[in-house]
Amino acid sequence: MRSIFSLALLFFTSLALAQQPYYDDVDLTLTGNALYNELQTKISDASSTFNYTDARNALLSTDENPSNSSEVLLVYGYNDSDGNCTTDRTRNKSLFGGMECEYNREHVFARSNADPTMGDVSSSTTGIGADPHNLRASDQQMNNNKGNRRFGDSSGNAGVISGGNWYPGDEWKGDVARMMMYMYTRYGSRCLPALMGTGPTEGSTQMLQLFLEWNVEDPVSFYEDQRNEFLESAYGNRNPFIDNPVLATIIWGGDTAEDRWGLLNTADFTTNPLVLYPNPNYSGTLNISSTLPVTAIQVYSVSGQLVLSHDDFQGSTLDVSSLNSGVYLVRLTDAEKQLVKRLIIH
């Protein structure tokens, strides 16, 4: 019989992943521009010698497929079985280059869109053009298709959309949003969000509503966490919006993103907790309990794929018997808040 456990505790009332020690000297009680400036100072302390060749080598670790260590994941990719290598989601690590069915380095914030541009890159390039937080493995043709197009909203798989803009795909839009947030926080006006995206900004801020929405809609994947862990060691800094997406909400506003450290915990979170745990004799059903009724539930795979969804949830149990063994993110929404919980099904 399968059993189910949380990554932290079998029974728990809220998700509060441990805050990274990296942020111990950051004042996380700040909000708005004050927190933006604090994080900018923090992440600007990174390697000044890390170059474009180092970034290529880093891809072998940062972009490693969590399901197959001989492969990298390809940003914007979505199909390994359609006979078209341009749409591949994975690629053997050895197939790096500029030829058909090889992968290369994609500057997600396009080099030519920065102001001033990041310029031409070479093996010895350092600084903004070699910042590994902005580089992803990408099929070379997919990379060419995207080029320096700005991001726009759509749904489904990656590709060119109305107005000649680029949709990164449902799996990758949160990754892209958090990369744009990092680049704007690290490099300021040189990487304004509007230089790489479309639509209105949030309130009086410079952050696009598009990226804030994607940050909420596409939760952090294990793949993103993997990148952060490696790059802190190799490059010297982290992407704060991967570590805790709600930092974007605290700085720029918009709908509340996943709060992985419990920064927004209030008395309500402790007196009216959401609780997710297995029935005593687990047989594929989870108990869902909250003082306020849970109104929606989404379950995501480790790669960010939506595998179960109840937008109009009613009742107190959730049937997950259709899920295979593995790790999942479960997002629960009640009348006042959202929580995201990590689960393992054995």
| Structure tokens belonging to residue 169 | 């795909």
- Percentage of the chain beyond pLDDT 70 is 84
Beta-carbon contacts of residue 20 (< 8 Å; ≥ 6 apart): 238, 243
pLDDT of residue 144: 97
Read off the pLDDT of each residue in 66-84 and give the average, rounded to a whole number.
96
Nearest C-alpha neighbor of 218 from the set 165, 264, 262, 257: 257
∠ CA 218-186-166 to the nearest 5 degrees?
A: 45
| pLDDT at residue 305 tops 70 | yes
pLDDT of residue 4: 42
Read off the pLDDT of each residue in 312-319 and give the average, rounded to a whole number.
84
| pLDDT at residue 202 tops 60 | yes
pLDDT of residue 230: 95
Nearest C-alpha neighbor of 17 from the set 258, 270, 277: 258
The partner residues of 342 in beta bridges, in order of sequence, read 329
pLDDT of residue 18: 59
| pLDDT at residue 266 tops 50 | no
- Across the chain, mean pLDDT equals 86
DSSP structural state of residue 257: P
Cα dist. 205→3, 23, 35, 87, 90 in Å?
46, 24, 13, 35, 37
Beta-carbon contacts of residue 145 (< 8 Å; ≥ 6 apart): 86, 159, 160
Give backbone dihedrals phi and psi of 302, rounded to 5 degrees, phi first.
-60, -25
| pLDDT at residue 268 tops 70 | no
Read off the pLDDT of each residue in 269-289 and give the average, rounded to a whole number.
53
| pLDDT at residue 327 tops 70 | no
| pLDDT at residue 5 tops 90 | no
| Structure tokens belonging to residue 204 | 């009086």
CA dihedral of residues 266, 315, 318, 216 (deg, nearest 10): -40
| pLDDT at residue 259 tops 90 | no
pLDDT of residue 289: 66
Read off the pLDDT of each residue in 126-146 and give the average, rounded to a whole number.
98
Read off the pLDDT of each residue in 174-188 and give the average, rounded to a whole number.
98
Exposed/middle/buried for residue 321 (C-beta within 10 Å: 0-12, 13-18, 19+): exposed
| pLDDT at residue 265 tops 60 | no
Under the banding of pLDDT at 50, 70 and 90, the label for residue 343 is low
Higher pLDDT, 217 or 10: 217
Name the least confident of 4-8, 105-109, 151-155, 321-325.
4-8
pLDDT of residue 2: 45
Q: Quote the CA–CA distance of 109 and 51 in Å, as a whole number.
A: 17
Higher pLDDT, 290 or 190: 190
Residue-wise pLDDT for 14-50, tens only, equals 333 557 889 999 998 888 999 999 999 999 999 999 9
Backbone CA torsion sign across 221, 226, 227, 231: positive
| pLDDT at residue 60 tops 80 | yes
Higher pLDDT, 345 or 142: 142
Q: Which domains does the chain have, with CATH numbers?
A: 4-13+265-345 (2.60.40.3080), 24-252 (no CATH)
Higher pLDDT, 292 or 119: 119
Neighbouring CB atoms inside 10 A of 126's CB total 16
Name the least confident of 79-83, 256-260, 336-340.
336-340
| pLDDT at residue 281 tops 60 | no
Under the banding of pLDDT at 50, 70 and 90, the label for residue 73 is very high
Read off the pLDDT of each residue in 77-102 and give the average, rounded to a whole number.
97
